[in-house]
Amino acid sequence: MQEAQEIADKVTRSLTGAGIWGVEFFLADDGIYFLELSPRPHDTGMVTLAGTQNLSEFELHARAVLGLPIPEITLLQVGASAVVLADTAGKNPQYIGVEEALKEPRTDIRIFGKPTTRPYRRMAVALASDQLGSDINVVKEKAIANAKKVRVVSE
């Protein structure tokens, strides 16, 4: 973790600018490898929209870009996210199963609004949360189960 934080700090400081930087790595048996950089809020940070902390990644990004103060970030509850992937190429996607997924308490589905699909394209995210101290593995499984309930179909 410390090595990843040091690399992320070095990369983002050298680029300058302000805002959220999503820095992704591969984790291998022999260490970590830098993968990519997203200079914006990213779907991997959407778990913050599940009320897991006092400020979402979007609020933090806006404050950083506008030069507004960022107070202490406080963890409010545990949360997890799981992506909803397209499995075919097409246009005008429709989402089947959203209502079923939303029947679960403390869940949400965030659809990205992309106009086209392709295999393995991230199209939405399922969010799940629970109170602090809850088993994070149970929350993760809930997010994954809800993501599996949503199918993307397109023309």
pLDDT digit string (tens) for 7-62? 999 988 898 888 888 889 999 999 999 999 888 888 878 899 988 999 999 999 99
Query: CB within 8 A of 133, min separation 6: which ones?
Result: 78
Looking at the structure of the chain, the number of domains it has is 1
CATH code: domain of residue 134: 3.30.470.20
Task: Give which of 34, 83, 78, 41 is closest to 60, Cα–Cα.
Answer: 41
**152, two tokens:** 């993307």
8-18 core/surface letters (b: 16 or more CB in 10 A; e: else)? beeebeeeeee
Residue 103 has pLDDT above 90, yes or no: yes
Q: Helices marked H in the chain — which ranges?
A: 2-15, 57-66, 98-102, 136-149
Residue 120 lies inside a defined structural domain of this protein: yes
pLDDT of residue 45: 84
Integer Cα distance of 112 and 85 in angstroms: 11
Residue 35 lies inside a defined structural domain of this protein: no
What's the whole-number average pLDDT of the chain? 93
> What percentage of the chain has pLDDT greater than the value 70?
100
Domain residue limits at 106: 75-153
Residue 146 lies inside a defined structural domain of this protein: yes
DSSP secondary structure string for all residues of 75-105: B-EEEEEEEEE--S-EES-EEESHHHHHTST
Residue 68 lies inside a defined structural domain of this protein: no
pLDDT of residue 64: 92
Residue 6 lies inside a defined structural domain of this protein: no
The residue behind tokens 């609004």 is 113
φ/ψ (deg, to 5) at 150: -100, 125
| DSSP 8-class letter at 119 | T
**42, two tokens:** 């990213």
